[in-house]
Structure 1
Amino acid sequence: MVNTEIDELVHRIKKLRTEMIEAAAETGLNSYRTISYSQKLDKLIMIYQKQKDIKEIVFNQNEMI
């Protein structure tokens, strides 16, 4: 289950990153649209990192058993 969630996050991060780059090319780096995408991307990356940490903890606990 965790792998599916992580895969979905990776997909969403890649899509949002592409949208942010397109927005920056169209409206500039300091536009509201680009900054909004950047902030959303930051949040998704933080969620991704937390999910990876959880997966690592669970994996390590299972190895101990």
Structure 2
Amino acid sequence: MSSGFSHFDDSGNAIMVDVSDKPETRREAVAEALVRCKAETLGLIREGGVKKGDVLSVARLAGIMGAK
């Protein structure tokens, strides 16, 4: 599954992208969340059954982008 996005591999998993050619900048990211949902919703997320896509991969990508 090639999504055309550089931050996902062919399986749709979030990956780090080589940014070694970019100029250095100082950045700091801190995040914390409390997510409440129904057990049914959590099951769909864990099983990858959400119609809009892979919720956990998007969350991982957001963390990677935030850290960059």
> Which bin holds the TM-score, normalised by the shorter protein?
0.3 to 0.5
- Higher RCO (CA 8 Å, separation ≥ 6 residues): 1
Hey, which of these two has a bigger chunk of helix by percent? 1
TM-score of the superposed pair, with normalisation by structure 1: 0.35
TM-score of the superposed pair, with normalisation by structure 2: 0.33
Structure number with bigger Rg:
1
